[in-house]
Structure 1
């Protein structure tokens, strides 16, 4: 047995032995051990090297808040870096490596950085690498020379280069109550909610539910706390309305009570079951949430506080009680609060000698003095640790008399031999999820900690999360929270009797001992107390600036251990109180999340694919599919032996001759609803929509803020406060973002909601001379004659028993109707329209025919609305309202946007009867050997069945003035040169007689 493993105790399985390797050496442990506890039991004190100075580092904590002992776990050739050794469960065959060292952990050449301490203080990279280089590379920025080396040195672990063969899953869960944290408060809350019939999900980051009850040494209801917790877990496991999720980190709290969680399904197994994922990402939507996430112990800031062997007191207590491991044989304790005394007592009972308890306070309660007496240790009140001694392991500490009120040291330092130092700077409730939910934390002077904000979503807190550090109070709060979350009334609750151990009451407001030497605040990023003061001197006094300038509390740490000490030091430098300085907003993820779990089953070709509801019908009926952005759409419905051109010409002729139908489900569709919906539309469109009658649609144009065209489409007024906006397929997401930005940032006073409903509607456009007759033969519940359904009118009816909404509008130049129904019924309605159209020779047509008809008609799309054109360039200036301002109206009349020689939309006809190419230049003088003199370019082209010619739309300088003139296409990349005529962009039915019928 190892000298560090206790004779008995702990919750490990001592009957079984596990073998694993760390840095190539083989070690043994027991089921229930973490990598950290097993290595400590084997006498390992050195776990890694620090980020910047490459100082030797040991284990600081026993949980997810570990900043030092980050390791890389190898699974075959796959590497996963930056995993806290404190959460890695050992199993046979586990292979782990230390990080940030070369050539070895014991002898790291980069440790020379410690000699350059003053040169690489906070923000050194902002100042050091900005100057110019002298010598042969004169004129080059110094950063450009150093960047390659800096990037190689930056970071911690090294990611692998081979594909990860592990399996990952994504899951969705819905519940009445989500309880986060399975300590005494969380277990009680889950049980109370479950007993009221609520569907409960209980998630905890640890493999064994019960939290501190598993290792606190308390007695609850006459049982050891661990046994009380096990019984509570068994009760929950037996309930059919409870889902237990151990090894699950709830890492993100989002709007609508949606939370994200990571379940570590098989990391602890040598051989996962067939098909078993490694990680599972949960998206949990809860009616109510109970946050029982506990609290995190803070370090004290003093010189040498990062030496291996210096550890948080609560972590050492856990190693002794839960894992049966002594972090040291001769242990000293340094504290500013009561909780460290319990740790001292626990280690004394486990077999360690307590060298001394050093307390910055002079007034110690009788209970704590009794605990110290039980530990048979020397008490040094009104003292502080001012240095640690040793090399890669602690050998001793220096203590000195300390005045907590002034922070002054006096007398001569005294050395005390110790191979482990337990420190406790107080406790910070783990309020990260509550902070993510959207409110600022509140400072509590008595506890010297930030407490959770007032809820702005449906959550309630319990236990140490709220600052309730006694087990009795935590259980009482948990019961009340569970009842509240389940919707039940609170009632009297007889909390179980608890034989109390010291909790974590308010600590003395002492966070730093100012003495010569490096005192670390953020262990993960090597941020010292002097770095914080340097940031203050250089003007970075905002907590947000402090964080970014020094990297305090960034990356995986997220301020778990470093936040409050850093704020306290900045507050002292500013001469302010901590609440005046404030705190940064915690952001997700709370703890590191594997990228594989976020991707889930999606791997390989990660291009998203979107399919319309009628996709399978298209494939079954001979469609050649075409990728249009993220959507797959029919290009043509080709017959045997047909070319693409022959197919779209046939489809176009059939549509113009009788009728055609096209799938338009991909058009962006946005529900705009609320008292100010019409006002919003007036502001985002260039034309008026507040005057639009209910049951009518209107074509609209949007500009960007700079006055350039953004998107076009129709918007339908379904009710006084209910509009359905349609957008181009390509711009659906951009328009949605556009609306959300203006509503959230520019016009938050408008009472409007915008909801993307693109995927909720299936759409079919049926057009041609026979389109009305086809609809009349299959639509029930409404007429579709000209009086009932005029141009831009809307009616509601049924097709084949399915409710549909029909709007008469045209993109093809023919009389046409767009038919929308629920997406689930899309194929059913589509097939009913196809069947109704058979007597009229209705044909389905694809994107090529659709594009041909829109070019013949002169409609613009994304090819013309390319981010450089204005409404006037596209001959849409008739849509620019003079009665109201709108987005872009202030900028659209700038001198450069109204110049006479701007590129304007025109039509182009091939004079040599050869195909034209999109992107080809238009030139006045043809010079095939030296192409030059472009006056514009072709945006879209096709063969026109209506004209019997190859035609195109183009943007040409002074376009309208060139109608009737000759020019040339110049396309040297494809070797296509030839004469063209510039004409109006309205090739087909410019009066609109066919469309209006």
Structure 2
């Protein structure tokens, strides 16, 4: 191609870069693609399957060929689309799927064997003798770009949440008209566009709107929107529409990490424009065959004339404006029009051939001549315009259905989708006046619409679809090397559904996701099978609209950003007391206190808590309030045990199950009143339980009748546990009657502390008498000081999490997720009453009666004892049995400790049929060592339960 830079454009400073090792230069404001075109580079890549030479086709996200690896500042980013990536000084660009270069790719020899490797050949060829013999080499050949193992991009992309009345996607004429009208109606607007400046087609097609040039009008509208406080984002792609009106945006930011916007809008206006469709003819994949609209973009936006001798093949009037602009820029141009005549006159000096056919394209490494209706024409660039395909992806992601509009030869939105409007070219409106009118009409009752005049308003298309003819290959999907013959082969082998066609031939599965190929592929299948295009149907459009970097989707996921540490209000006091901190359930909590050996300090705390009283900071335990007339129904539905039958002031222990019947969490629920419950779950599951309650509240119950509020951060809880716990709490003067009659085990009472409220709950996780005292977080320090002062006279001890875990294991109390796994159901712990007797529905109930749930060989929760003098079993050790000489696992140790009170090890485990094997001694293996242990009840300490009431 004899491309060149037009002197009146691209006047910015020169930018040096390399392509496949060759030193080149571009101009400030270039994309990689425009710079390569201006430098005369024809072959920019190789096709995926046959490694055929490929040139630039488009100018935006639709580009199928110009995919490159970019190295900048020593870091390589793979698979960048050259048509959308700005050129940066010092950038090193390499073609993908080519070695050593795109122009001299050694793998190009594969094209000679194309007849032996048609569509679907891999499904048949590699079945014999074994797929795994071929898999390693095939996987090595798969993919396009190469990962730079030394480049680990930092996940620093912020996630920005926004709300608005209307989200407008596209800042072309329709989008701008919509945003202007909506803003004037008083609605808040967020407008996004994937280009670096607003205007859309106004930036390369001349038009006057409201008496000013279209580009100036666009800039004025954007300035007005921003001045009024609305948000306008350039270089931002709306790539996905999700449930409940959530739209995700990928924003490219100069000098900053890209950003992920999560926008919730009351309404969405899709004004995303349209993509020019190629014509399909023999050898149409040669470098130098381009989109006509793309050539106009390169000319008007980047000052690059793609060639000196150009043939424009078209079936519509839009290409006539392109031909005129190229001719005025100094190129020789001929139009090959497939129609008997067009609705517009050609530019003076531009020859037109009517009823034209493109017979062939000649050239070794690109176009050198074009044969039009039997006439050979010397040209090194062939521009094609087969019509425009509306960009309906976001509409379809919102579950919109399409219909074929014969007047534009394309699919357009069918029945409306609630909360979404489609306007402009995305709706099949290819005249400027109609696009402006449709955009303006999205604002109900808006004032007069913008008025426009444009020489390019005529479309007048006569559809030309691909059809099998001749021996030459006609390419539909350029990146994946899918031809019309491949479509015919799929039809012969009965892969006629569009979804089967897509997977059998890989049509539309390239990185452009079929933006330039899908419509022609559907039309080819329709012609081959004797159906209409509408009967053939379309494939399913799924997010993302364009490939999005993983760093953007991941957001800020490193260090504390990945899992922010939750801190106790009393952290400084614990540190002053010698606490050693560890993470428990996402909270930084004291593991133990003291500078001695951890095992000794933990044993000291556990022993003393059993003898006198231990003080524990239990603030992270969940305190989730469920309030409203349907509160009892909500907590009942989410619990294995019935809770609504509780009396006010009482507490009940229970499980929450997943829908598969597996134990998700355990905890207690306090009933304040018939319309007020407090769910106390394990500290690591607070967020999950809140989401779970909220999900069922919204999906099953009347949202006006019940509310869920997480009050965990608002309350601090200090627990006194042990034989002298009541004495300690009594010294706090909380105004609560602590007698067993007034405050029995599993009861609570409200009092006061330091001028504020306080709640005393008598629940135990140690098996000893225990009291949880909860006060507003602001009173936490005062409560801590008061308990420490009271505890001095009682020989109290600060109790860390490790000692607490030991104490609860002595009693056989489980920790969900530690002593249960992803299969454990309540009956596996011997708790079957609710399953067998509850009449009402609850989450997971149905799954408790499946064949799997009723198996007699399920792993069940048990305790373990070892012979006198032996050390504790290793946590995670596998219980094994040997049958027929083969050893297999039948369970594992979930918790294991040396009990300082009992003077022996205690352990909990999940073992097959464990509840029916009491007293049986079995083997355990761990890291090559074998141990023996005897199955016992889970409760090793105070099995009669006297101490909890003593």
Q: Structure 2 length normalisation: TM-score?
A: 0.86
Give how far 1:717 is off. Answer: 6.0
Query: Corresponding residue for 1:859?
Result: 813
Q: Distance in 2 between matches of 1:755 and 1:193?
A: 35
Match in the other structure for 1:410:
none
Deviation at 1:117, TM superposition (A): 1.6
Distance 1:642 1:786 in 2: 39
Equivalent residue, structure 1, for 2:18: 21
The residue aligned with 1:388 is: 361
How far 1:254 moved relative to its partner? 2.8
Distance, in Å, in 2 between the alignment partners of 1:5 and 1:568 is 36
Q: How does 1:659-698 map to 2 (within 5 A)?
A: 659-663=614-618, 665=620, 686-689=640-643, 691=645, 697-698=651-652
Cross-structure match for 1:418: 379
Q: Secondary structure at the match of 1:557?
A: coil
Show CA shifts across 1:689-736 (max 9, x none): 565567755333466777776654445567778766565566778889
CA distance 1:924–1:767, shift in 2 (3 Å): farther
Structure 1 position 351 matched with structure 2 position 339: no
1:376 matched to which residue of 2? 350
In structure 2, the residue matched to 1:228 is 217
Deviation at 1:110, TM superposition (A): 1.1
1:575 to 530, 544, 549: 530
Residues 434-487 of structure 1: CA deviation (Å, up to 9, x unaligned): 333343444434333233466656443332222222222322333343xx4xxx
Moved more, 566-575 or 345-354: 566-575
Q: Identify the match of residue 126 of structure 1 among 120, 123, 127.
A: 123
Equivalent in the alignment of 1:472: 433
Match of 1:270 in 2: none
Q: Is the 8 A contact 1:219 1:500 kept in 2?
A: no
* Other structure's SS at 1:939 match: strand
Please show how residues 257-296 of structure 1 align to structure 2 within 5 Å: 257-266=245-254, 276-296=255-275
Q: Taking structure 1 as reference, are residues 977 and 3 closer, same or farther at Cα in structure 2, changes over 3 Å only?
A: closer
**Does 2:300 align with 1:300?**
no
Equivalences for residues 9-408 of structure 1 within 5 A = 10=9, 12=10, 14=11, 16-132=13-129, 141=130, 143-164=131-152, 168-176=156-164, 177-195=166-184, 198-237=187-226, 239=227, 241-266=229-254, 276-359=255-338, 361-362=339-340, 364-365=342-343, 368=344, 370=345, 372-374=346-348, 376-381=350-355, 383-400=356-373
The answer as to 2:600 corresponding to 1:626 is no
CA distance in 1, matches of 2:562, 2:63: 37
Q: CA deviation at 1:544?
A: 2.8
- Distance (whole Å) between structure 2 residues aligned to residue 435 and residue 820 of structure 1: 52
Structure 2 counterpart SS, 1:439? coil
The one of 550, 553, 556 equivalent to 1:595 is 550
When residues 315 and 766 of structure 1 are mapped into structure 2, their CA distance, relative to the original with a 3 A threshold, is same
Deviation at 1:205, TM superposition (A): 1.3
**Contact 2:468–2:484 (CA<8 Å) still a contact in 1?**
no
Change (3 A) 1:679 1:447: farther
Shift of the 969–4 alpha-carbon distance from structure 1 to 2, 3 Å rule, reads closer
The offset of 1:81, in angstroms, is 1.9
**Residue 155 of structure 1 aligns to a residue in which SS?**
coil
CA distance, structure 2, for counterparts of residue 390 and residue 347 of structure 1 = 22
Once residues 673 and 892 of structure 1 are traced to their aligned partners in structure 2, the CA distance between those partners, rounded to angstroms, is: 37
Contact 2:847–2:853, Cα closer than 8 Å, also in 1: no
**1:281–1:922 Cα change, 3 Å:** closer
Are 2:248 and 2:260, in contact at CA under 8 Å, matched by a contact in 1?
yes
Q: 1:328: Cα distance to partner?
A: 2.0
Task: Using the TM superposition, give the Cα deviation of residue 851 of structure 1 relative to its aligned residue in structure 2, in angstroms.
Answer: 1.2
Could you tell me whether the CA contact under 8 Å between 1:797 and 1:805 is conserved in 2?
yes
Q: Structure 2 CA distance, aligned partners of 1:792 and 1:56? A: 77
| Contact persistence 1:875–1:905 (CA under 8 A) | no
Q: 1:308 to 1:453 in 2, by over 3 A?
A: same
- Displacement, 1:958? 6.5
Q: Secondary structure at the match of 1:322?
A: helix
Q: CA deviation at 1:58?
A: 0.8
Structure 2 gaps of 5+ residues are none
Deviation at 1:425, TM superposition (A): 2.0
Alpha-carbon distance between aligned partners in 1 of 2:606 and 2:137, rounded to the nearest angstrom: 61
Residues in 1 aligned to 2:617 and 2:929: alpha-carbon distance in whole angstroms: 34
- Deviation for aligned residue 1:25: 1.9
Q: Structure 1, residues 312-348: CA drift from partner, whole Å, max 9, x if none?
A: 1111121222222222222222223222222222222
Distance 1:281-1:972 versus aligned 2 partners, 3 A rule:
closer
Residue 837 in structure 1 maps to residue 794 in structure 2: no
Aligned partners of 1:987, 1:774: CA distance in 2, in Å? 27
CA deviation after TM superposition for structure 1 residue 310, in Å: 0.9
Query: Is 1:5 paired with 2:4?
Result: yes
What is the alpha-carbon distance in structure 2 between the residues aligned to residue 117 and residue 127 of structure 1?
Answer: 16
What are the within-5 Å matches in structure 2 for residues 401-550 of structure 1? 413-452=374-413, 458-481=419-442, 484=443, 490-504=445-459, 508=463, 510-512=465-467, 514-550=469-505
Structure 1: gaps of 5 or more residues: 133-140, 267-275, 401-412
Distance verdict in 2 for CA 1:793–1:98, change over 3 Å: same
Residues in 2 aligned to 1:186 and 1:661: alpha-carbon distance in whole angstroms: 60
SS of residue in 2 equivalent to 1:888: helix
Cα 1:917–1:178 shift into 2, 3 Å: same
CA deviations on 1:765-821 (whole Å, 9 max, x unpaired) are 624256567667779898787677655456677766777777553322234456778
**Cα gap change, 1:883/1:232 in structure 2, threshold over 3 Å: closer, same or farther?**
closer
**How many pairs were matched up?**
934
Alpha-carbon spacing, 1:956–1:582, altered in 2? closer, same or farther (3 Å): closer
Give the SS at the match of 2:304.
Answer: coil
1: distance between equivalents of 2:378 and 2:730? 97
Contact 1:911 1:981 (8 Å CA) reproduced = no
Q: Judge conservation of contact 1:623–1:635 (CA < 8 Å) in 2.
A: yes
Matches of 1:605 and 1:635 in 2, distance apart?
19
CA contact (8 A) 1:183 1:213 kept: yes
CA distance in 2, matches of 1:572, 1:750: 52
SS at match of 2:323: helix
> Are 1:888 and 2:876 an aligned pair?
no
* Alpha-carbon distance in structure 1 between the residues aligned to 2:835 and 2:657: 10
Matches within 5 A, 1:740-779: 764=717, 766-768=719-721
SS of 1:27's partner is strand
